[in-house]
Amino acid sequence: MPAPINVALPGREYDVRYSDSFADLTDVAREARAADFALIDANVDRFYGRDFRRSLPGVKFLRIAAGETSKSFISLERIANELVRGGATRQSRLFAIGGGVVGDLTGFLAGVFMRGIDFIQLPTTLLAMVDSSVGGKTAVNIKAGKNLVGVFHQPRAVIVMPRLLKTLPARELGCGLAESIKTALIADASLVHLLERQAYDHKTRDIAFLADLSAACIRIKADVVVKDEKEQSVRAFLNFGHTLAHAIEARTGYRSVLHGEAVAVGMRFAALLSRRLGHLSAEAELRIENLLKKYALPNSFADLKTAKKPGLWSNSALIKLMRADKTNQQGTIRFGTLAALGEARLPQPVSEQELLASLKEFQTLA
């Protein structure tokens, strides 16, 4: 198992620890100072609920329905009431057992419940392991958009159990691979090479490889978060590929296309834009395309598994959504690009004319 990774935020530092045994969790449960609660994804509960309950004795478990709709104010209020009824105090801790939805919801609840309590992330998807469980971004969705209401609230610990990935649905695993590729592309050329060389077999699922890959990504993320917790500068690197991805998710109602799949297409587009703006070589762009293909990730709108409604990927609709992205400033559309494989550039304004020309070229790849 990989060694622990320290997220060295002054005054709020914590470790991301690896474990291959449920029994290791019992020590965490023993540290209880008050009634502790676990919010567990309903699908994870079906597979591993008994194991988690046995290893976290005394912790009260609350089931969270799988899917984005759980990341809402309605669930937040319902769970907050259950916590109070269950005897929660300011000393209580919350365990988030699930993927990004449960992690973001639990983190936000921990950030605001009784004005802030501790929480521990137990990510069960590759995407949550490599990205969302580390760094303290928490949020719920509102009608106006995804993740629009939230707080930065760092967990007290993150415990990663790579063995849980054995039962993760293939598309979910793909989402984690997409975010891992993103992490490599923005910061680590040697990790890009490793992903290119790795003889990865989707069917057998090399858990040792996935554990090492996640640790490499978490080390990069920890470093970025320590440099820029509140996303004033380099944390924006982590949004590579996300500008178009958010528009894709909005166009498909946050349902048929998974976040990581949208990010894969968003990265392919950002690679094309990087080349068109003269930052990235055509050879590097092709390597990104091949890397996405190698890990069976979508490269174009046509690859996305969604009902093909007329006008779904219309350039004007996508540009309108990209203009509304929360990472923009003063009405401009900002795009993170790459200077090379393993080297990100900070988001820069891109003219709508260039964006339109790039989208037109991208549409021809389909």
For ligand GLY, the binding residues (CB under 6 A) are 131, 135, 137, 235, 238
Which is nearer to ligand GLY, 83 or 175 (by Cβ)?
A: 175
Q: Minimum Å distance from CB 342 to ligand GLY?
A: 18
Q: Minimum Å distance from CB 231 to ligand GLY?
A: 6
Which is nearer to ligand GLY, 49 or 150 (by Cβ)?
A: 150
Phi, psi of 96 (to 5 degrees): -100, 110
Q: Minimum Å distance from CB 275 to ligand GLY?
A: 24
Which is nearer to ligand GLY, 135 or 155 (by Cβ)?
A: 135
Residue 121 is inside which H or E element, if any?
strand 118-123
331/335 Cα distance (integer angstroms): 13
Q: Minimum Å distance from CB 238 to ligand GLY?
A: 4
Inter-residue contact 120 to 52 (CB < 8 Å): no
Give residues with Cβ within 8 angstroms of 250, minimum separation 6.
Answer: 145, 146, 321
Which is nearer to ligand GLY, 28 or 177 (by Cβ)?
A: 177
Say how many residues make up the chain. 366
Q: How far is CA 42 from the centre of its chain?
A: 19
Which is nearer to ligand GLY, 135 or 150 (by Cβ)?
A: 135
Structure token digits, residue 25: 């969790």
Q: Minimum Å distance from CB 100 to ligand GLY?
A: 9
Structure token digits, residue 340: 């090379």
CB atoms within 10 A of CB 263: 29
Q: How far is CA 316 from CA 253, 321, 352, 360, in A?
A: 17, 9, 10, 11
